[in-house]
Amino acid sequence: MPPLSLNQAARETGRSKATILDAIRGGRLSAPKDELGRYQIDHAELFRVYQPTTQRPGTETATDPLSPTMETTLLRQKVELLERIIQGIENERNDLRRRLDSESEARENAAAEIRRLTLMLTHLPKPESEAQPAAPAANQNNHPVPVRPWLWVALAAVLIGAAFALWLAYGRLLP
């Protein structure tokens, strides 16, 4: 038997050309192209993936396989419903991925801001006129001067605020 074209394969299986082409591109159905770029589909390969629906010469059937029955109509409606449900789930998944990415970016920005503020609170810049590093400040008895308590309080407030912001951002992702 000569190989089938895309149109003939669609007619033999009762499927659309797009469905057959998707199966070929997806790798479920192998079909080489001829020198004109047309698919040449082997019968056995086609019927391995899809059941034949047209009447073969020499076989007799009581009903026409292409005429829709109540059962096939119901099945088509169920398939359409399931495809809509799948599309809705995929849309929701994509939305959640987008939201997760934006929340992750917000957490990274908040962490960078915490680092920046911590450096601002704890870092004493060197005067530009001095080339050597300055010795730590000392009191009259030559003991180092401790960091002022208000700096620690301000640092703690910033960290608590950032932790609260992260908690709010993370809490919105959970149901």
Query: How does pLDDT run across 57-114, given as a tens digit for each residue?
Result: 554 444 555 567 888 888 999 999 999 999 999 999 999 999 999 999 999 999 999 9
pLDDT tens digits, residue range 77-90? Answer: 999 999 999 999 99
Tokens describing residue 159? 């960290």
pTM assigned to the model: 0.32
Domain containing 75 equals 6-90
Look at residue 4 and give its three-state secondary structure.
strand
Q: Is residue 146's pLDDT more than 80?
A: no
**19 occurs within a structural domain:** yes
**Is it the case that residue 131 has pLDDT exceeding 80?**
no
Taking only the tens place, the pLDDT of each residue in 1-60 is: 789 988 999 998 988 999 999 999 998 888 898 888 888 998 888 888 888 885 555 544
Question: Domains in the chain: how many in total?
Answer: 1
Domain with residue 85: its CATH number is 1.10.1660
pLDDT of residue 137: 58
Residue 5 one-letter amino acid? S
DSSP code for 130:
-
Query: Does any domain span residue 173?
Result: no
Does 81 fall in a domain?
A: yes
What is the C-alpha end-to-end distance of the chain, expressed in Å?
A: 59
> Average pLDDT over the chain, rounded to whole?
81
Residue 40 domain flag:
yes
Give me the pLDDT at residue 124, please.
60
For the chain, the maximum distance between any two Cα atoms, rounded to a whole number of angstroms, is 114
126-130 mean pLDDT: 55
